[in-house]
Amino acid sequence: MVLQKHIKNDLFAILVDIYLYMIRQHKPKYEVGSEYSVNHKSWILAEVTSKKVYVLQYEDAGGTYHTMRLTESEMDNVARTKQIYGNE
């Protein structure tokens, strides 16, 4: 019985290691809620999907939300522009 408990604990430790590895692998580069300037409009990062699609949104003066979906490389370009020019 003690041997079986030891084996189960080792399996549990392996599963925890795998889980922690996967969490680090899927952590998005950019924080949800961060703000970016695109075409002189302030866009908020609203969501990062499991397939690393970055969803940006902004609300116009009439209260309508506009959404754009970007790949990680496109989001890198937007973030790089923010660092050079900043929010307007």
Domain spans, the chain: 2-85
Half-sphere exposure of residue 66: CA atoms within 13 angstroms, side-chain side: 10
pTM for the complete prediction? 0.63
Q: What is the pLDDT of residue 49?
A: 87
For residue range 39-57, list pLDDT tens digits in order: 888 899 999 987 889 999 9
The answer to whether the CB of 19 falls within 8 A of the CB of 10 is no
- Give the angle 37-45-38 at the CA atoms, nearest 5°: 20
User: Taking the domain 2-85, which CATH number applies?
Assistant: 2.30.30
Which residue type, as a one-letter code, is found at position 47?
Answer: E
CA-wise closest residue to 65 among 75, 73, 54, 56 = 56
Cβ neighbourhood burial of 54 (10 Å; 0-12, 13-18, 19+): buried
